[in-house]
Every structure is written in structure tokens, then in C-alpha cells.
């Protein structure tokens, strides 16, 4: 497992590989060359990745593979996922004199992957895209499955398109330079896959998750590969989120509300919000009589042991106003008929969609002192 693995996302004529393993950036030229319509790419990345030398490593590898490349380096951070930065990015890429056979390579975390992916979806009515995710969260979630887009002042990810990549390269070595907080935040999405339908994987994380969080290569590779397999299976079954893909939103309705009230800033990273949202989804399911209390306790314990917020008070000691959270649910893009949608659970590894939750039950949960 130390060497990683290749996971296939089965989407017929648009199927692609997610390659997981060490040293993939350095093999970028060799891995991309067979897929390109013309040996020419535009790499989109951010200043942090440039500073850490990852862009230079990829550029060297592309040159060694005979691939001509130009790059666009953007400011890091969530604010880059904006209409203004998209406009700027499109303009800069068009100024490079691209053709329909030019491919876009997104080298970065979720922000770069979503923004550059969206640019690839709409430039010249669609360019080939390669995702090279550099955060744990992007490797196990956002780089796989073709969701691309930007934020609006009305909410996160409200403008976007489905645009599947031709290849995803998840280089395990790049994760070694991640700040521990970023690694922990990505770990929440790893835990999510265990909680949705992989109880054995969750049990493995309970035993070995500390090794994943310590970035031990073998444990980290196993966690990434298992997560990519889980994500690939869901995307292959339901690419456009007509049904099963909605399971991936476990914990996310709560998470989006928490992110909204904390202002999408440094107080709470997306993965941290997801961690708390997972606990809240289990707590809601227990209140509705769907899930054993013991499973909620296991989830709460594991999230806390990972150094992630297992309750709202772990985010903000004075708590959050129930009305502010209820108001925030209304802005979620998954609202249907004015009602927020929740993924609920019958236990660990037994998530399901389609349940309606009475506003009173939600208010009771949010009024409770904990979680």
C-alpha cells in the first residue's frame, strides 16, 4: 500500500484514473503525455504552491515529458473562488493564445481545483482538465467527481458546472508539507466515507487514524486510497447527484450553516465544519430515534481524538444562536421547497437520504446545550 494505487472512476467514455502514490509530481510529464490531445498545458496554481517549489517540480517534469506549458499563479485562499478572480483567470488564459486542444492543469487545493476546473469547463466551450490536488481534502473529495465552481455573495459554490477531469494525480509526498490543521480538516472527509457506508473503514480509522494524522506514509496512503474508492463508487453510480451522490453531503448541511455564521474565514475551515456537522447529523438521528446513542458517542470520541471540533462549543465557546443557524440553512444550495435537506443515519456506515426533518426537531437539537 506504501506505493499507492490507481482507482478508476467508471463513467463510460469519460472514465478516468485517480492515481495515488508518492513522487507523482515528478512523473507528471510521463503520466500526462498519453492523455493530451496536443503536448500543451496551462498550469493554474497559487502562490503558496509556487513558494513551496511544487510548481517548479511539475514544470520540470512536464518539460522532461516534452509538454509545453505556461502557468498562471493566483493568490491563495477562499476569496480566490470569486467571479472577479474567474474573470481575471479567463482573461489571463485567453491571453496565452490557447486552442481547444490545450489542457488545463489545476495544481492546488479545493479552491484552485474548483476555480480552474470551472475555467476549463467554460473556456472555448470546454477544455480537457487534469487535477493535481495538493491537500488531503482535495485528494479525497473535491478533485474527484467533476464538481467545479465559484462562490457568490449569496453563498458557496452557487455558480458552477460538472466537468470531469481526464486524470487525477494525488501525490502523497505533497501532503508532507501540509500544515497539521489542514491535514486534520481533510481527515474529516475521510471519516465521512466510513460513516456513510464503510463501517470497517471507520473501525480502522478508530484504531489507526492517529497514524494518518501523523502523516505516516503507509497509513495516509491507505486512507487516501480507501476514500478515493468510496468517492469513485458514488460518482460512478450517480454523477449528477440525482440520488446516491447526495450521501456525500453527510454532515454538510450543518457544516455549511456553521461556515456561513463564522464568515467562511480562519475561525472554521470547511473540514472542521464537516467534522462538527458529522456529529450533529448523528445527534439529530439519535433524537429522531433512528440511530443508537452508542454510535453517536463513537463518532464524537473519534472526531475529538482527531483534534477536530466535536461540538459547536469546541468552535465558539459561547455557542451559536439557534436563529442564526436556522437562517443559514435557508441559503444552502440543497434547499428543496424551502426546506433544508439532511443526510441522516441508522448507525455507523448506514447513512440515507430523503428524510424530512420537522423544523421543531431541528430547533430542539440546536437549542440543546450540547452538541
Catalytic residue ranges: 125, 147, 189, 231, 241, 245, 249, 252, 256, 270
Cell numbers standing for residue 108: 492546488
State the DSSP code for 248: G
At its nearest, how many Å lie between ligand GLY and the CB of residue 88? Answer: 26
Q: Please, what is the minimum distance in Å from the beta carbon of residue 82 to ligand GLY? A: 20
Q: How far is the CB of 323 from ligand GLY (least distance, A)?
A: 28
Angstrom distance (rounded) from CA 234 to CA 248: 8
In this structure, which long-range contacts are made by residues 74-80, counting pairs with CB atoms below 8 Å and at least 24 apart in sequence? Answer: 74/44, 74/45, 74/46, 74/47, 74/112, 74/115, 75/46, 75/47, 76/46, 76/47, 76/48, 76/111, 77/111, 78/111, 78/151, 78/264, 78/265, 80/46, 80/111, 80/112, 80/115
Query: What's the closest the beta carbon of residue 146 comes to ligand GLY, in angstroms?
Result: 8
Q: Which of residues 139-198 bind ligand GLY (CB under 6 A)?
A: 141, 145, 147
In the complex with ligand GLY, the residue whose CB is nearer, 54 or 147, is 147
Nearer to ligand GLY, 247 or 366 (CB): 247
Residue with smaller CB distance to ligand GLY, 145 or 251: 145
Residues 6+ apart with CB under 8 A from 52: 177
Q: Which stretches does DSSP call E strand in 305-353?
A: 344-345, 351-352
Q: State which residue, 31 or 257, has the beta carbon closest to ligand GLY.
A: 257
Spatial CA neighbour of 164 closest among 331, 9, 281, 3: 9
Number of residues that bind ligand GLY (CB under 6 A): 5
Residue number, 71 or 148, with CB nearest to ligand GLY? 148
Contact criterion met (CB below 8 Å) for 214 and 174: no
Q: What residues between 193 and 252 interact with ligand GLY by CB under 6 A?
A: 245, 248
What are residue 170's DSSP bridge partners?
20
**Shortest Å, Cβ 247 to ligand GLY:** 9
The residue at minimum Cβ distance from ligand GLY is 248
Q: Which residues bind ligand GLY (CB under 6 A)?
A: 141, 145, 147, 245, 248
Amino acid at each position: 500500500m506504501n506505493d499507492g494505487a490507481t482507482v478508476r472512476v467508471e463513467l463510460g467514455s469519460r472514465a478516468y484514473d485517480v492515481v495515488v502514490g508518492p513522487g507523482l509530481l515528478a512523473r507528471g510529464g510521463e503520466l500526462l503525455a498519453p492523455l493530451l490531445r496536443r503536448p500543451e498545458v496551462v498550469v493554474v496554481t497559487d502562490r503558496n504552491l509556487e513558494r513551496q517549489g511544487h510548481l517548479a517540480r511539475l514544470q520540470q517534469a512536464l518539460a522532461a515529458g516534452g509538454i509545453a506549458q505556461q502557468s498562471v499563479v493566483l493568490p491563495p485562499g477562499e476569496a480566490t473562488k470569486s467571479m472577479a478572480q474567474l474573470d481575471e483567470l479567463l482573461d489571463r488564459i485567453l491571453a496565452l493564445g490557447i486552442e481547444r486542444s490545450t489542457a488545463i492543469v489545476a495544481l492546488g487545493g479545493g479552491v484552485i481545483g474548483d476555480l480552474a476546473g470551472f475555467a476549463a469547463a467554460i473556456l472555448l466551450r470546454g477544455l480537457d482538465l487534469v487535477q493535481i490536488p495538493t491537500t488531503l481534502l482535495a485528494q479525497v473529495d473535491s478533485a474527484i467527481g467533476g464538481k467545479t465552481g465559484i462562490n457568490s455573495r449569496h453563498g458557496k459554490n452557487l455558480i458552477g458546472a460538472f466537468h470531469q477531469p481526464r486524470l487525477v494525480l494525488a501525490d502523497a509526498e505533497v501532503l508532507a508539507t501540509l500544515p497539521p490543521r489542514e491535514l486534520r480538516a481533510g481527515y474529516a472527509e475521510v471519516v465521512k466515507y466510513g460513516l456513510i457506508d464503510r463501517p470497517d473503514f471507520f473501525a480502522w480509522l478508530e484504531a489507526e487514524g492517529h497514524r494518518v494524522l501523523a502523516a505516516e506514509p503507509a497509513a495516509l496512503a491507505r486512507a487516501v486510497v480507501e476514500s478515493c474508492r468510496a468517492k469513485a463508487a458514488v460518482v460512478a453510480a450517480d454523477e449528477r447527484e440525482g440520488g446516491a451522490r447526495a450521501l456525500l453531503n453527510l454532515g454538510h448541511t450543518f457544516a455549511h450553516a456553521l461556515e456561513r455564521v463564522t464568515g467562511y474565514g480562519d475561525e472554521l475551515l470547511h473540514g472542521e465544519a464537516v467534522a462538527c456537522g458529522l456529529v450533529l447529523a448523528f445527534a439529530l438521528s439519535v433524537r429522531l430515534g433512528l440511530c443508537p446513542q452508542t454510535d453517536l458517542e463513537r463518532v464524537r470520541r473519534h472526531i475529538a481524538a482527531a483534534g477536530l471540533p466535536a461540538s459547536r462549543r469546541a468552535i465558539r465557546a459561547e455557542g451559536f444562536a439557534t436563529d442564526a443557524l436556522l437562517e443559514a440553512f435557508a441559503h444552502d444550495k440543497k434547499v428543496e421547497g424551502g426546506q433544508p435537506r439532511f443526510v441522516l443515519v441508522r448507525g455507523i456506515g448506514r447513512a440515507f437520504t430523503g428524510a424530512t426533518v420537522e423544523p421543531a426537531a431541528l430547533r430542539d437539537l440546536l437549542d440543546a446545550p450540547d452538541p
